[in-house]
Amino acid sequence: MNININIIFFVFIFFMAFQTTLPSCPFYPILYGVNTQQPLGYNKNYFIRNSDDCRDACIKETNFTCTAFLWPGYPGHCYLFDKVNLSLQIFRDDGAYILYVESCSETIPSIGYCEFTVNQTGVSYHPTEKSETPGQTTQESCFQFCINQYKGLNYEAFIVSPTGLSTCMLYENIPQNLSTGTYNMWTKNCYPPPKNCEYTPWSEWSECSATCDGVQVKTRDVLQEGDPNGVPCLDSEKSLTQNCSIDCNSICTYGNWSSWSECDENCTQYSERDLLTGMLEECDTIEEPLMKNQSCTGGACPTPPPTTTTTVTIIVTSTLPTTPEEIITTMAPCIFGNWSGWSECNANCTQFRERPLISGEEDYCTTINDTLTEVQTCSGGLCPPITTTPLPIVEEGCRIDNIDSNSRPSTKFRAVGRQESCMGRCKIETKFKCQAYITGGPGNSCILFGNVTKPVMQVSNSIYYMQDLQCLAGKTPETSICVWEKQEKKVNGTTGTSSRNVAYRYYTIDANHCEHLCNMNHPIFKPESCGAWVYDPSAGFMKTLPNCYLYKPLTDDDITSFESGPGDLYIKKCP
């Protein structure tokens, strides 16, 4: 296997960046049921909707140093803070948000809390007690004005209607001897720190699961349950994961070169190799190509005309005897002159250059690689200027959306980088006749292909599509369009399959991530490819257990051997 030497510096930078994202101290959950709309003493904060891992988001925050966050401990909204002031009165409500704080001390921080509860019902406002009012509010809004210290005051009670809108009255002292009415009075009560769930010490980090895209896990168990008002025991607190290797897409690794193809009609033969890891547009370069070619003879290559021998008989009328004379001629070698300068750009936005044939026969010497004229696209001259609103490009042939960019529907292919018009680049390709291309649209990567003779793979949520100029894809078993077919039976990914087809287990973000790993055809599957995968959505969000299982192509016996479980089984089908 060849590995691009250019990865060394990038790997070093990656590990530097990776290490700087690790927290210097751990985060502890210290208070349960914290109201999210109260002042906590922070200067900077950031809100993330529906976060799967608020702890990780806090660690990776770049706009400020995150030292605390509010989060339910499972997928939900996430509030990041640069700091919190634990000496403030912190109010609880009936929500599930937990306050996590970073602490470098061996002693886990603990704080008390305050909450407002209904003290009296069916009362009216106090006529003389000093009060402040923000006006007409709901009961919930009145509570928020109270805990947010409306006008900078610390309130001990508020009176408001339990339904609809009413005047919200805030009191620094608890009113006494209230008259009968239709409102409720809420009063503040503060309590000492509750006892939170306790855990055993953390284990050591596990070994890295892979040399790229690897993770490490450390775990702990519940030692003792906490009080009813304390932080409950959470699955998210029983395991931690961290990346421990570089991103697979950050390095270019290649498979072995194939044998040279048969010599074709252009007297060229090809060798290709697979891209095992890395991004196609970054790894298929002039220095490290995925396909190379060389001139050849034999096969379909036309045989050069043989050396000719011409016998000329000259009859001389003479009294002398007649003598035959033999003349032998040999074909001259092909010698080309220098190229001329490029012509002016014409109205079709093309320009030309020429060179003379100094020696040799034109019919024999001019080939696809050795021409007397070259053409290229150009701008300026007689070429119309580019308008700001170009006409839409009508692509020829048949379009197939959601294509895996690693598909290779032809033995001949060439990655040509980002192109504004992959179709236009296809038309001027000279290495082979372009009959299809895969691209993500204007300005994205473009891969050109010869005749479509092999299958292509359709995947989920891909920006890439294939334009098949001859509409051959899907017409025969050899050119089928493969898809991932979801099976009706729910399975347990840790069971089933024979000993020859063990599951390769991964930690993934979601089903699309699991599918993508299978599409990448990791070298562990060689010489076969990944033919099936199981995604288990029931795994915890911190991924204490693998939730993605990859397999080589399954037999019918393999499929029926799975036990029932929560996982979705997908099998590659090429109709």
Look at residue 489 in the predicted model and tell me its pLDDT: 87
Read off the pLDDT of residues 336-384 as tens digits, 9 standing for 90 and up. Answer: 777 888 888 988 888 888 888 877 777 667 665 577 788 888 888 888 8
Q: CATH for 27-102, among 3.50.4, 3.30.70, 3.30.1490, 1.10.10?
A: 3.50.4
Look at residue 330 in the predicted model and tell me its pLDDT: 52
Read off the pLDDT of residues 126-148 as tens digits, 9 standing for 90 and up. Answer: 989 999 998 888 898 899 888 88
Q: How confident is the model at residue 520 (pLDDT cuts 50, 70, 90)?
A: confident
Strands in 337-378 per DSSP E: 350-354, 357-359, 373-377
Confirm if 305 and 332 have CB atoms less than 8 A apart.
no
Tokens for 266, please give them.
């252009």
Q: How confident is the model at residue 453 (pLDDT cuts 50, 70, 90)?
A: very high
Q: Which of 237, 542, 286 is nearest to 415 (CA)?
A: 286
**H or E element: which one contains 19?**
helix 7-20
* 237-241, 250-254, 275-279, 324-328: least confidently modelled range: 324-328
Q: How confident is the model at residue 543 (pLDDT cuts 50, 70, 90)?
A: low
Instruction: Tell me what the pLDDT averaged over the chain comes to.
Output: 82
106 pLDDT more than 80: no
Read off the pLDDT of residues 373-423 as tens digits, 9 standing for 90 and up. Answer: 888 888 888 888 765 544 556 788 999 998 988 888 998 988 888 888 899
Look at residue 324 in the predicted model and tell me its pLDDT: 46
Look at residue 156 in the predicted model and tell me its pLDDT: 95
In CATH, the architecture of 113-191 is 3-Layer(bba) Sandwich (3.50)
Q: How confident is the model at residue 545 (pLDDT cuts 50, 70, 90)?
A: confident
Alpha-carbon distance of 432 to 427, in angstroms, equals: 10
Q: Which long-range contacts (CB under 8 A, 24 or more apart) does 279-282 make?
A: 279/249, 280/405, 280/406, 280/415, 280/445, 280/447, 281/415, 281/417, 281/418, 281/445, 282/252
Question: Domain map of the chain by residue range?
Answer: 27-102, 113-191, 198-245, 250-293, 335-377, 398-468, 483-573
Q: What residue has token string 């590990």?
A: 15
Q: Which of 441, 445, 443, 471 is nearest to 456 (CA)?
A: 471
Read off the pLDDT of residues 548-568 as tens digits, 9 standing for 90 and up. Answer: 888 888 888 888 888 899 999
| 270-297: average pLDDT | 87
Read off the pLDDT of residues 302-334 as tens digits, 9 standing for 90 and up. Answer: 876 655 544 444 454 444 444 444 444 455 677
Alpha-carbon distance of 123 to 235, in angstroms, equals: 45
Strands 239-243 and 268-272: unpaired
Confirm if 321 and 455 have CB atoms less than 8 A apart.
no
Confirm if 387 and 364 have CB atoms less than 8 A apart.
no
207 pLDDT more than 70: yes
Q: CATH for 198-245, among 2.30.29, 2.20.100, 1.10.1740, 3.40.50?
A: 2.20.100
Look at residue 74 in the predicted model and tell me its pLDDT: 85
Look at residue 497 in the predicted model and tell me its pLDDT: 66
Specify the fold of 483-573: Hepatocyte Growth Factor (3.50.4)
Higher per-residue confidence, 64 vs 558 = 64
Look at residue 21 in the predicted model and tell me its pLDDT: 40
Alpha helices in 495-537 (DSSP H): 511-519
Look at residue 14 in the predicted model and tell me its pLDDT: 34
The SS3 assignment for 456 reads: strand
Q: How confident is the model at residue 544 (pLDDT cuts 50, 70, 90)?
A: low
* Class of domain 398-468 (CATH, top level): alpha beta
Which of 204-222 are b and which e, b meaning 16 or more Cβ less than 10 Å from the residue's Cβ? Answer: eeeeebeebbbbbbeeeee
Alpha-carbon distance of 91 to 112, in angstroms, equals: 9
Q: How confident is the model at residue 227 (pLDDT cuts 50, 70, 90)?
A: confident
